[in-house]
Structure formats: C-alpha cells, structure tokens
C-alpha cells in the first residue's frame, strides 16, 4: 500500500471520515493494519480535517537529509531554494496550504532563476539592511529595546519570556515604524503563534495545532494590516519612514517585477522565521556568559575584548567587538543549516518518478540541509575549531577579496558567479555587489562593507544564498554586548522550582531559568551593609558615607550607562525606596 495513502487513511478518523471504532482494514497484513490503527489513535479527535491532511500527514512523509559540509562557501544551484520549505508548513503562509506565488513570495523560498538577473531580488532585500544604515536609521530603536529589556525592574526574573513580550515592538518598528499600542493584538498574537509552531514543530502536539490554526485565522487580517502600513510608509504617514526596512524596499524595487508590493508584505511577515533566531542567539549568549554556569573561555574573551578599544579596527576588516559577535554566532549557530529542494533523479537519469507517472497526489517530500554548525567546526577549515577564538577571522578572506584573480588562484577557470553591482535608488551613494562565490555585500561611498567569505564561518549560510540580514544581526548583538558591559550586567541561573518552557526560535524550546543582575546594585548593597554596621541609626553620617560611595563608583566607572551622579536612575522603585532608608 502506498505510504501516503496509508497515512491519509489513518488520519481520516479524527476528521470524521472513518468510524473511530474501525480497527481492522480489509486486505491489509495484520502488522500494517495494527500500525495504521496506532497512527490513527495518535491523532487527537478534535483536529481539523484540513490540518490533518495538509500538516500532519506531510510532516510524517517529509525527509530531510544532511548534505555535505562545503569546502568552499558556496551551494551549487542544483540544490534550489525554490519552494524549499517542509510541506507541512505551507499552511502557515498561504491559506491554500501550498505555494501560491501570485499572493507574494519571499526571496528565501525562491530559486536563483526566479530572482532576476544577478540575484536581483536578494540585492533589493539587502538594500534595507546594509551596515551603513544601522547607526543613523536603526540603532536608536535597538538600543531603546535593550534599555527596556534590561531595565533594573526586571532583574533576577526569567529573561526569555520577558524578551518575547517586547520583541514584536522592535520587529514591527524596524519593518514598518509601528510599535506599542499601534500594533493590534491580533498582529502580536500571530507572531507569537507562528514562532510557537516553529519551536515545538511536531503537528501532533496540541500546542502546535492550536497555534497553527490561530496563524491561519489571523493570516488574512495580518496581510491587510501590513499592506496598509506599507502604504503609510510610502506616503510618509509614519514618523521617519526612512528608518524602516519597507522604505528601502519600496525605493529600490524598480518596476516591481522582482519585488512587488505583495512581496514586500510577504517579506514583512516571513521574517518571523529569520528574526526569530535572535531569541535563540540571545539565550545562547546569556548561557555562555552566565556567572555560575557559563563558559570560562567565552567570559574571558568577552572581558578581554570589552576592556580594550573594542569599537575600532586596527588593520583588520572587523572591530574587536564585531569579531567576538561573529565567533558567538559560529559557536551558537542558531540556524543549523540551509534547506534545499531536490529534484527526483528518476525523472531524468532513471525515468519518471512513479508519483508523476501515476498522477498520484500522495507524494512524499525530501529536502537536503547543507549544515552550518558542523561546517563551522570542520577541522579542514580551522586548526582549532573547538576553541573560542575571535581573532580567527583576521586570517581568512573577506567577500571583497574573492575576485577574478583569487578564483583563478584557487583553481577555477573563472569566477563561479559574475561580479556585478546593483546601485540603489534611495538617495545614497551605495550599491550591492558580490564576490566570486556569489556572496552579496554592500558598498557605500566607494568603500566595501564585506563579510567573512570563508566556509568555516557558516552560521549565515553560503554564497548567493547567504542571509542578507547577517550584518544587521551582528550590529544588533554588538549593541547588546555594549549594554551588558557598560551597565555591569551579569547573567545568573535563577534555580526556580518550576521554570517555564518557552519557545524562542525554530526547533528551540528552552527552560526559562536565566536572569540578570546588575553589579552596581550588588556593590551598593554591600556598601549599605558596611555603613549601617559602622553608623547604626545615625542617618546623617550614613548619607554622607553613601554620597562618598557613589562618587567613588562614578570616578572608577562603576555606574551604569544610564546613571546620574548617584545612580538613582539605574535603580528600580523598590531599590530607590531602600536607598531612602
């Protein structure tokens, strides 16, 4: 019996297609009938029929195979991004449960042949997130987000649930210039439900089913809301529209053939997938920097980097802070691989696939994942792959160095990808060019803004398929580390009796048992204890001592970045009350 027909017959029961009492299947061997019954009984009876047919069954008919670790930072075009999404997930982005590109499409699900000349669609997307835009356009939003996230009132509380409560304010502010109460509750809900499905993943889990169906119920309203906000950006009806991703996509889309307004809408919500990896990354950083259970090598490297001139490159393509963030991404590897759709070889060398020949709709789905994590740790690329070593990137090529001469030196007759430049139309003297390996990167005011174009640095993918949001993401986490260092923040295990499980990214559900403390507050409380021991109830002498303590802390750089002379603004209301005692 054909495998999908087998599963579909079993899946029909909770949808009311087959009697729940049916336990025997005529014509089937006993072991097959028993397996069918077990599968049928594993599906909750309340599951929607379409969900079972289009999510549950495809999930169990999908195979993802791990591909080879690249020796060079490229993925061959034979491994296509066209519709490279596990089939059970299509219902999250299209109401018809299948690819419907006329409703909009994301570059992350397009084959190279569909993107326009020289990877045009990728370049238009990239135009919104080139490194030259971060400081003037996006940094203030990111810094405000981290200020809010790491406010003292949230100290010693589970961090990741708190992170998710504020994440979508930053997300929609970056994309469309909308935040706070201007974000409808349904828009917040669909984002959280989308990420919950990606994190828990198994469609038989009730939490996945409930959130999957919430996404489907809210999908059309979300697209309508985004469409209106994109129009608001285009017509200047949001404050500072040039500080949104959508503004650059609108300006650089040309005639819209390869980046239509529907595509802009699609990219705005498909980034639920791309930016959701920030949660996984921030948790990975906190875990490694944790005071009581972190990685001593990472903690030591962080202290060494931040104790120096971390924002200035000295003869390197990267600043010391950028280097440590890159090494954190290599070792955390929040995105484990790049999924490709594959053609059934029997359609060519061995004849037509039996699925195609018989016209069967009961088709299995297979994908290949080019691994990021194991490639980043491949000893072919590094002599010390297990060591945390931010300086490693100073000794390997950047994308600006992979030119025609370098490709021929490697042994190619010519560059695998023609080197061309797409000049932006948004008023900047900037463009998007590429390396000989196909890696797209920016050029602003004649200065290249390259990335590390080496297979051993794999967290953002390879070649023409490399994530265009890489440098934006690195800059975001540079600001996170600045905040941690300047405000003397430490991460600690909370040892909660019953910590919550929180979905923080694709295939990532964590135990939310890490919080933060502020070393300034710890020092101040020690001073209070010492002063009270010496002065007892003599408040006047105590306050005089307290002022002297604050002046000492300020003189020695111990006050946080948001503190005044007394540091009061860095304290929560309960802490201020304690201070007044």
Residue 548 has pLDDT above 60, yes or no: no
Q: 381-414: per-residue pLDDT in tens?
A: 999 999 999 999 999 999 999 999 999 999 999 9
Distances (CA, A) of 67 to 33, 81, 184, 372, 465: 35, 14, 42, 10, 15
Residues near 228 by Cβ (< 8 Å), separated by ≥ 6? none
* Pairwise CA distance, residues 490 & 302, whole Å: 12
| Strands 508-511, 501-505: pairing kind | antiparallel
The confidence band for 42, taking pLDDT boundaries of 50, 70 and 90, is confident
Q: 97-146: per-residue pLDDT in tens?
A: 999 999 999 999 999 999 999 999 999 999 999 999 999 999 999 999 99
* Pairwise CA distance, residues 167 & 147, whole Å: 13
Residues near 485 by Cβ (< 8 Å), separated by ≥ 6? 302, 306
- The whole-number average pLDDT for the span 514-524 is 74
Residue 558 has pLDDT above 80, yes or no: no
Cα separation of the two ends of the chain: 78
Q: 177-223: per-residue pLDDT in tens?
A: 999 999 999 999 999 999 999 999 999 999 999 999 999 999 999 99
Residues near 351 by Cβ (< 8 Å), separated by ≥ 6? none
Residues near 543 by Cβ (< 8 Å), separated by ≥ 6? none
Residue 283 has pLDDT above 80, yes or no: yes
Helical (H) or strand (E) element with 35: helix 30-42
pLDDT of residue 73: 97
Mean pLDDT for all residues in the chain: 87
* Pairwise CA distance, residues 154 & 489, whole Å: 12
**How many C-beta atoms lie closer than 10 Å to residue 215's C-beta?**
23
pLDDT of residue 532: 52
pLDDT of residue 176: 98
Query: Collapsing DSSP states into helix, strand and coil, what is residue 92?
Result: helix
pLDDT of residue 359: 60
The confidence band for 24, taking pLDDT boundaries of 50, 70 and 90, is very low
* Pairwise CA distance, residues 99 & 109, whole Å: 10
Cβ–Cβ under 8 Å, residues 407 and 415: yes
Residue 74 has pLDDT above 90, yes or no: yes
- The whole-number average pLDDT for the span 366-393 is 97
Strand residues in 302-434 grouped as ranges (E) = 337-341, 365-371, 422-423, 430-434
Residue 231 has pLDDT above 60, yes or no: yes
Q: Which of these ranges, 266-270, 503-507, 534-538, has the smallest mean pLDDT?
A: 534-538
**How many C-beta atoms lie closer than 10 Å to residue 354's C-beta?**
12
| Strands 422-423, 337-341: pairing kind | unpaired
pLDDT of residue 462: 98
**How many C-beta atoms lie closer than 10 Å to residue 554's C-beta?**
15
Q: 331-351: per-residue pLDDT in tens?
A: 999 999 999 998 766 555 555
- The whole-number average pLDDT for the span 452-461 is 98
* Pairwise CA distance, residues 287 & 168, whole Å: 23
Helical (H) or strand (E) element with 510: strand 508-511
* Pairwise CA distance, residues 458 & 441, whole Å: 16
Q: Which of these ranges, 48-52, 258-262, 420-424, 561-565, has the smallest mean pLDDT?
A: 561-565
pLDDT of residue 55: 95
The confidence band for 61, taking pLDDT boundaries of 50, 70 and 90, is confident
The confidence band for 284, taking pLDDT boundaries of 50, 70 and 90, is very high
pLDDT of residue 39: 81
Give the 3-state DSSP-derived string for 150-204, with helices as H, strands as E and coil as C: CCHHHCCCCHHHHHHHHHHHHHHHHHHCCCHHHCCHHHHHHHHHHHHHHHHCCCC
Residue 474 has pLDDT above 50, yes or no: yes
The percentage of residues in the chain with a pLDDT greater than 70, rounded to a whole number, is 80
Closest by CA position to 168, among listed 193, 195, 191: 191
Structure tokens at 90: 């299509």
Q: Which of these ranges, 411-420, 443-452, 455-464, 561-570, has the smallest mean pLDDT?
A: 561-570
* Pairwise CA distance, residues 103 & 107, whole Å: 14
* Pairwise CA distance, residues 578 & 581, whole Å: 5
Q: Ranked by mean pLDDT, which of 26-35, 436-445, 565-574 comes out on top? A: 436-445
Angle at 556 between CA 554 and CA 558, to 5 degrees: 65
pLDDT of residue 40: 78
* Pairwise CA distance, residues 27 & 60, whole Å: 23
Burial of residue 207 (number of CB atoms within 10 Å: 0-12, 13-18, 19+): middle
Query: Which residue is associated with the tokens 């950028």?
Result: 322
The confidence band for 516, taking pLDDT boundaries of 50, 70 and 90, is very high
- The whole-number average pLDDT for the span 160-169 is 95
The confidence band for 442, taking pLDDT boundaries of 50, 70 and 90, is very high
Strand residues in 386-488 grouped as ranges (E) = 422-423, 430-434, 440-444, 447-449
In the chain, what's the furthest Cα-to-Cα distance? Answer: 94
Query: Collapsing DSSP states into helix, strand and coil, what is residue 295?
Result: coil
């Amino acid at each position: 019996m054909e495998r999908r027909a087998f599963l579909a017959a079993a899946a029909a029961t909770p949808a009311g297609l087959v009697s729940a009492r049916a336990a025997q299947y005529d014509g089937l061997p006993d072991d097959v009938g028993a397996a069918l019954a077990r599968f049928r009984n594993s599906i909750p009876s309340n599951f929607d029929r379409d969900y079972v047919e289009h999510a549950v069954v495809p999930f169990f008919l999908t195979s993802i195979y791990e591909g080879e670790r690249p020796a060079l930072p490229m993925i061959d075009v034979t491994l296509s991004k066209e519709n490279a999404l596990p089939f059970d997930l299509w219902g999250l982005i299209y109401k018809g449960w299948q690819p419907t590109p006329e409703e909009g499409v994301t570059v992350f699900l397009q084959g190279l042949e569909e993107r326009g000349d020289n990877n045009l669609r990728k370049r238009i997307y990239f135009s919104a997130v080139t490194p030259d835009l971060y400081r003037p356009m996006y940094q203030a939003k990111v810094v405000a987000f981290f200020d809010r996230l790491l406010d003292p009132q949230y100290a010693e509380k589970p961090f990741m649930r708190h992170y998710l409560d504020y994440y979508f304010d930053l997300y929609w502010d970056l994309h469309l210039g909308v935040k706070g109460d201007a974000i409808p509750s349904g828009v917040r809900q669909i984002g959280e439900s989308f990420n919950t499905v990606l994190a828990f993943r198994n469609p038989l889990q009730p939490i996945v089913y409930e959130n999957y169906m919430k996404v489907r119920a809210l999908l059309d309203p979300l697209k309508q809301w985004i469409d209106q906000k994109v129009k608001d950006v285009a017509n200047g009806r949001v404050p500072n529209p040039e500080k949104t991703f959508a503004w650059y996509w609108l300006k650089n889309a040309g005639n819209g053939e390869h980046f239509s307004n529907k595509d802009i809408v699609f990219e705005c919500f498909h980034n639920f997938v791309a930016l959701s990896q920030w949660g996984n990354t921030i948790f990975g950083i906190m875990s490694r920097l944790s005071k009581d259970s972190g990685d001593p090598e990472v903690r030591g490297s962080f202290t060494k980097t931040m104790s120096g001139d971390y924002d200035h490159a000295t003869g390197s393509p990267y600043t010391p802070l950028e280097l440590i963030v890159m090494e954190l991404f290599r070792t955390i590897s929040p995105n484990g691989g790049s999924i490709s759709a594959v053609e059934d070889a029997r359609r060519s060398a061995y004849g037509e696939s039996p699925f195609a020949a018989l016209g069967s709709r009961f088709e299995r789905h297979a994908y290949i994942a080019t691994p990021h994590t194991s490639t980043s740790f491949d000893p072919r690329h590094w002599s010390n792959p297990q060591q945390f070593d931010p300086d490693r990137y100073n000794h390997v090529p950047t994308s600006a160095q992979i030119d025609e001469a370098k490709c021929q030196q490697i042994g190619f007759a010519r560059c695998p990808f023609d080197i061309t430049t797409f000049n932006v139309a948004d008023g900047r003297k900037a463009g998007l060019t590429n390396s000989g390996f196909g890696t797209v990167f920016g050029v602003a005011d004649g200065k290249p803004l390259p990335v590390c174009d080496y297979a051993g640095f794999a967290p953002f993918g390879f070649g023409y398929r490399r994530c265009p949001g890489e440098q934006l993401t690195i800059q975001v986490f540079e600001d996170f580390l600045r905040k941690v260092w300047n405000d003397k923040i430490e991460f600690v295990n909370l040892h909660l009796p019953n910590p919550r499980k929180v979905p923080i990214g694709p295939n990532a559900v964590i135990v939310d048992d890490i919080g933060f403390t502020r070393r300034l507050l710890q020092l101040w409380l020690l001073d209070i204890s010492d002063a009270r021991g010496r002065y007892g109830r003599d408040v006047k002498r105590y306050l005089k001592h307290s002022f002297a303590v604050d002046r000492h802390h300020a003189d020695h750089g111990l006050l946080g970045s948001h503190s005044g002379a007394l540091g009061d603004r860095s304290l929560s209301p309960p802490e201020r009350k304690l201070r007044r005692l």
